[in-house]
Structure 1
Amino acid sequence: MVNSNTYFEVLKWASSFLEKNNIETYVAEYLLLEKKQWTKTELLLHFKEEMPKEEQHQFKKDLEKISHHIPVQYIIGSCEFYGRRFLVNEQTLIPRPETEELVDLILKENSDSEKKVVDIGTGTGIIAISLKADKPNWQVTGLDISKEALEVAKANSKELNVSVSFLESDILSGLDSLEKIDILVSNPPYISYDEWEEMDVSVREFEPKQALFAEDEGLAIYKKIANEAREHLSETGKIYLEIGYLQGNAVSTIFQKSFPNKEISVVKDMNGQDRIIKVI
């Protein structure tokens, strides 16, 4: 594999290998740190130590998978989100930093008092679990149409010892018609099928398409949420939605029609892009 077996030399080789395969080189270090559960400081302290042969062999196998565009998070089997570690697999989307901003906004804008919270398209359960972990008085339910994704969400809830209810449901159809929601949140599929070619190969080939793409130029799920939420949102209820950076005006219009008496606003992410729609 390499002439020297130190962590430094193995990592140097790995970065070169990824570069030749047009993969960003930082992934090699990220993989090693995650596998070893080391900080960067700990890695520096071990740089001159030999990496065991079995470890080298597995590291190379993992890099081969990455060179074929399998996301590193699926290889590791977990990733960090809002200060907690969540299980992920190919049945679930890999959490993005922008979704942390969605969680943060909801937590900052709402009190600790008891609330009924529903997360549509919960996937790994990251939003629902993160909200419940920080607001124990909230009654949080995660909904998803995918049985496989719900199994991952339930495993995360158990692993993190956070009590969240999970229910198989297409949008809000699985809820009791009398159930009223105080906070409705969703990071739904919002990518247009026209954008297929623009997506990263690893996303196109390995992340679940059902959780990424939507009909009607990516707006189909927002329209369903806006329609079904009218029956379930409490009088003072709020809606928080993650959106694509070009969808601010379109999604605002959809929800203004469904909720003419509520205030609709667009919140930008850390990069200055439209990212969240608020209905309050």
Structure 2
Amino acid sequence: MKSKTTYREVLKWASSFLETCKREPIAAELLLRERQDWSKTDIMMHLNDEIPSDVKHQLLKDVSDHGSGIPVQQIVGYGWFYDRKFKVTKDTLIPRPETEEIVDIFLKETRANQKLSVLDIGTGTGIIGITIKKERPLFDVTATDLSSKALKVAKENAEVLDADVRLLEGDLTEPVKSETFDVIISNPPYISNDEVRYMDESVLHYEPHLALFAENNGLAIYQRLAKETPAILNPGGKILLEIGFKQGKKVQELFQSAFPTANVTIEKDMSGNDRLIRVKTN
């Protein structure tokens, strides 16, 4: 590539390169915007400007890294969730739109003047618990995670975003087994080992398997939660669980058995896939 080039030329080359690597070409623009803290309008305004050499070299490196499989969020060091920036590392899952939908559902069912105790199980980067606390400041939010490395990232995110969330290290409900909550919400590991061959290599190589995979065809964590949560859920409380799109009926049966008098339903995401198990107790 010639030494003096415009943003347009570099983006055109970078997009083509990513396409040959079977990556989304739009990632080139996204990487540039994140590095420069630009909006789409900013990009349009600079397209015909000469790109500074340091900006060009950084973009080419980022594009090369993404072409090799490294997710955009890990290249820039953060991901967006509910219009907030969350630090991510190789020890945490990358925030995903499906999880954002679940938080949105929960927030629409609650009011800002309520006082509820909420438990976020397997918090990872802290996106669920921190977002709930920021959107509902009166809620008492606790979040747990088995991974000390993930919990360290969650603590950093809570500090940066000024979210007063209690973060506890431990396996599922173990750190809070003597407490009770009005709401339990979780995006647990639910991918079965049989599904590995269908997964994107960037997920397999750059996101923690501890947060992705579960035994018993992906149901092991749900089975444990169905046993543990009845003891810590307040009367009239509810549970919201993210699920794999093929797991709805089986997870529904697990929790209907655990909460015989509760209303246990399956809800779909915006793509029409089963995505959420909701348990509403009497």
With structure 2 as the length reference, what TM-score do the two structures score?
A: 0.97
Within-5 A mapping of 1:7-18: 7-18=7-18
Give the distance between the partners of 1:213 and 1:273, measured in 2 at CA: 20
Task: Tell me the equivalent position of 1:154.
Answer: 155
Give the distance between the partners of 1:148 and 1:104, measured in 2 at CA: 27
| 2:226 equivalent to 1:258 | no
Task: Tell me the equivalent position of 1:42.
Answer: 42
1:252 partner SS: helix
**1:78–1:85: 8 Å Cα contact kept in structure 2?**
yes
Residue 110 of structure 1, CA deviation? 2.2
1:241 partner SS: strand
2:118 partner SS: strand
**1:116–1:182: 8 Å Cα contact kept in structure 2?**
yes
Q: How many pairs align? A: 279
Deviation by residue 1:25-49 (Cα, 9 ceiling, x = unmatched): 1111111111111111110101111
2:278 partner SS: strand
Give the distance between the partners of 1:142 and 1:176, measured in 2 at CA: 13
2:224 partner SS: helix
Task: Tell me the equivalent position of 1:83.
Answer: 83
**1:2–1:13: 8 Å Cα contact kept in structure 2?**
no
With structure 1 as the length reference, what TM-score do the two structures score?
A: 0.97
Residue 4 of structure 1, CA deviation? 4.5
Structure-2 change in CA distance of 1:260 and 1:2 (3 Å): farther
AA matched with 1:193: N
Give the distance between the partners of 2:274 and 2:90, measured in 1 at CA: 28
Give the distance between the partners of 2:272 and 2:3, measured in 1 at CA: 46
Within-5 A mapping of 1:156-171: 156-171=157-172
Task: Tell me the equivalent position of 2:139.
Answer: 138
Uncovered stretches (5+) of structure 2, i.e. residues with no partner:
none
Query: Following TM superposition, where does structure 1 have runs of at least 4 consecutive aligned residues deviating by more than 4 angstroms?
Result: none
1:250 partner SS: helix
**1:2–1:10: 8 Å Cα contact kept in structure 2?**
no
**2:143–2:166: 8 Å Cα contact kept in structure 1?**
yes
Structure-2 change in CA distance of 1:119 and 1:50 (3 Å): same
Uncovered stretches (5+) of structure 1, i.e. residues with no partner:
none
User: CA RMSD for the aligned pairs?
Assistant: 1.0
Within-5 A mapping of 1:179-194: 179-194=179-194
AA matched with 1:134: E
2:153 partner SS: helix
